[in-house]
Structure 1
């Protein structure tokens, strides 16, 4: 019997163990944040998501941020207060999804809460990270607009959540900022840890079809 090439065999193994779909491996957000997010995905440090600031460990200036904020997930699920939602298995599964988690400066995570994504333009000047923000809207730096759009599309289609902004804005960001090496490397690592992929990173053109 003819042997399959090693790379092809590895590919077959990968597609049988990593799936397109939702997170089914984790359902304990606190443990995932501690052991998988900081203890595995960013165990050797990295760069903060919005500001691209290098870090070697979490530190007190960084926190685990969420592209699709947890407060909006709780609102969409109508599961009650934070404490009540923590008893909801569906919420715990969604809140444990590593594809939605990014390392963020604590002050920016506070600033983003309750804001909707949008193109603000000249209404607000960009800060030192390239972020434009107002009381109601948040515009990320151009270099991660596509990352935000593809994560948003994943959360909306995977967990049947509402869009947090105009679909046309996210489609524009997806085209403006296609997946780069950093996003692809991060996506591959998460797929290995969690067992599922974000199809919009693998094939960004799918977002235009939504």
Structure 2
């Protein structure tokens, strides 16, 4: 009887500390979400570019919709074919419509991030004017958004069963280095209101240590 009680207690504690993750179920048309919800709602009054922290009042020609977990990597993970072929895949369309993963970035910066992995590159690599380090297929973001990236990547990995885009300990370190600030929390609340689900790694950053 004692063994049964202990087993039940252990199961309860495991369930109590497990990460409960919902996913985007409202949107499955990426183009419409980008136009109407991302630029037309979330950033309708402007904001700051994600990596460079440059203020903007409207999209303009230097900004684009970027993705913390790049769409090319999502297509590769799903093995759904070319961009056009993946756009016919409902699962891909749902993932590509997830606002938690979308960020406003400079078009030039987004081009730099293709086919790269997140990593700590060290002081031997100089940062650019936005605080970014890049070398040989690796990308280190500015210190102030490392936690944002870690928590978003964790959300995408755990929600959609995608592979990590770097070493898990690196993301855990970034999460500790850069805890959620008011800007990140405010944006998260807006996304949750629009899309209907939260990122538990942002509302409870300690969940990152369970990965």
TM > 0.5 fold call? yes
Where does 1:27-46 land on structure 2 (aligned, <5 Å)?
27-46=28-47
- 2:191 aligned partner: 190
Structure 2 residue matching 1:165: 3-state secondary structure: coil
**Structure 1 ranges of 4+ moved more than 3 A:** none
3-state SS of paired residue (1:108): helix
Does structure 1 retain, via aligned residues, the 8 Å contact 2:151–2:201? yes
Could you say which structure has the larger radius of gyration?
2
Mind listing any 5+ residue stretches in structure 1 that lack a counterpart? 1-18
- Structure 2: which 5+ residue stretches go unaligned? 1-19
RMSD (Å), alpha carbons: 0.8
What is the rounded CA distance, in whole Å, between the counterparts of 1:127 and 1:78 in structure 2?
34
Measured against aligned partners, the alpha-carbon deviations of 1:41-70 in whole angstroms (never above 9, x if no partner) come to 000000000000000000000000000000
Deviation (angstroms), 1:123: 3.4
Aligned to 2:83: 82
The Cα shift of 1:134 comes to 1.2
TM-score norm. by structure 1 comes to 0.90
Q: Could you tell me the TM-score, scaled by structure 2's length?
A: 0.90
User: Residue 120 of structure 2 corresponds to which residue in structure 1?
Assistant: 119
The residue number in structure 2 matching 1:91 is 92
Q: How big is each residue's C-alpha offset from its partner over 1:157-184, in whole Å with a ceiling of 9 and x where there is no partner?
A: 0000000000000000000000000000
Mapped to 1, the partners of 2:28 and 2:34 lie a distance apart of 11
* Structure-1 residue corresponding to 2:206: 205
Aligned length: 192
**How far is the alpha carbon of 1:202 from its aligned partner?**
0.3
Please show how residues 94-173 of structure 1 align to structure 2 within 5 Å. 94-173=95-174
